[in-house]
């Protein structure tokens, strides 16, 4: 596990910067259900944890804490007691809403942390203002929204959609398509049996072991992809792009940063870097058509020695030719660095 992965996974699920001014409160509720459940949960800074439990009940355990120094302690204590007496839980058959209150004043000075056990056949919509979200093992589909906190989802079989303004987003073992949008924070993903769309404005993207296509984009930091069986489309404004052991086509473009690509089988490659080196490792024994050029750097590597120069190749900054019997096009272009093709 690299430093980025360890940092994301070590991030606390629930915010701990809120000190309790008085004894916390709590409430517990067990709801009887039959068949697939639709669960809608909303939380502030406290956070949400959802896991799989019994097939015929939804069990809710909530801890209510006061926020020290921000509100009148008396108000916080009164709101804790009010929430204990009237928990924000609604049930209409198998549709359950948790955390929604008609009078927002009752949430002033307090945070509520939800720990929920639900049947595996559950569809989840979870949102948090500044707390963590962790969801594990439900069927889905799952949709999460987080204003500023860590979100981790694992073991989901249906589609997954995640949105955040800030904080790390982690996905492990997803059985369908995944869509992630993050304004400021990293994205870590492993094991997706579907397609992936992952975009962040400011943060690193790390994705591995995906059976479908991957579309990834960031404006600051790096993109690392590993073991993607579908097509790869990666865009970066300021940072590197790495795509290792790709099983299909690769389209990588960065304005400022290097590009490294390796393929497990021949497929089209397009790599464009305005300011950065390009290193491509072609599939062993595969045929390709090659078109590579660098304005200020040289082109080298084992693959460029495998065929004779054509009349279009005037120097070491431009190569066009066929490797083996030919095949998918490898189109490489950098303005101010070198290109290596192995």
Q: What is the pLDDT of residue 200?
A: 95
What is the distance, to the nearest Å, from the Cα of residue 224 to the centroid of all Cα atoms in its chain?
12
pLDDT means per 10 residues, the chain with 342 residues, are: 44 42 86 97 94 97 82 81 95 97 89 97 95 96 94 97 95 97 95 97 96 95 97 95 96 95 96 94 90 88 63 64 90 91 90
**pLDDT tens, residue by residue, 70-89:** 567 688 889 999 999 999 99
Residue with tokens 């404006």: 219
Task: Return the structure tokens found at 231.
Answer: 């097509």
pTM of structure: 0.89
Residue-level pLDDT at 310:
43
Q: Please report the pLDDT score of residue 144 as a whole number.
A: 97
Q: What is the pLDDT of residues 106-154, one digit of tens each?
A: 888 899 999 999 999 999 999 998 889 999 999 999 999 999 889 999 9
Query: What is the model's pLDDT at position 68?
Result: 65
pLDDT, position 8:
43
């Amino acid at each position: 596990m690299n430093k980025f992965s360890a940092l994301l996974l070590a991030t606390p699920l629930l915010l701990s910067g809120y000190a309790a001014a008085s004894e916390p409160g709590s409430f517990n509720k067990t709801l009887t259900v039959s068949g697939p459940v639709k669960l809608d949960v909303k939380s502030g800074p406290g956070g949400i944890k959802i896991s799989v439990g019994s097939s015929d009940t939804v069990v809710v355990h909530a801890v209510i804490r006061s926020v020290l120094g921000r509100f009148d302690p008396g108000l916080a204590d009164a709101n804790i007691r009010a929430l204990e007496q009237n928990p924000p839980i609604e049930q209409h058959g198998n549709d359950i809403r948790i955390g929604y209150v008609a009078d927002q004043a009752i949430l002033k000075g307090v945070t509520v942390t939800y720990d929920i056990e639900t049947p595996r056949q559950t569809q989840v919509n979870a949102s948090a203002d500044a707390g963590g979200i962790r969801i594990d093992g439900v069927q889905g589909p799952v949709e999460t929204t987080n204003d500023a906190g860590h979100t981790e989802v694992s073991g989901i079989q249906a589609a997954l959609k995640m949105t955040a303004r800030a904080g790390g987003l982690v996905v492990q073992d997803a059985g369908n398509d995944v869509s992630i949008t993050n304004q400021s924070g990293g994205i870590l993903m492993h094991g997706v049996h579907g397609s992936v769309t992952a975009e962040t404005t400011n943060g690193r993207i790390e994705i591995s072991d995906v059976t479908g296509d991957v579309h990834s984009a960031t404006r600051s930091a790096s993109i690392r992809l590993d073991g993607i069986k579908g097509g790869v489309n990666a865009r970066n404004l300021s940072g590197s792009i790495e795509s290792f052991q790709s099983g299909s086509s690769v389209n990588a473009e960065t304005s400022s940063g290097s590009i490294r690509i390796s393929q497990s089988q021949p497929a089209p490659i397009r790599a464009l870097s305005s300011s950065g080196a390009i290193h491509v490792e072609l599939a062993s024994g595969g045929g390709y058509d090659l078109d590579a050029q660098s304005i200020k750097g040289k082109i080298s590597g084992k693959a460029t020695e495998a065929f004779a120069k054509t009349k279009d190749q005037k120097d070491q900054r431009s190569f066009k030719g066929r490797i083996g019997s030919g095949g998918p096009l490898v189109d490489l272009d950098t303005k101010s660095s070198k290109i290596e093709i192995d």
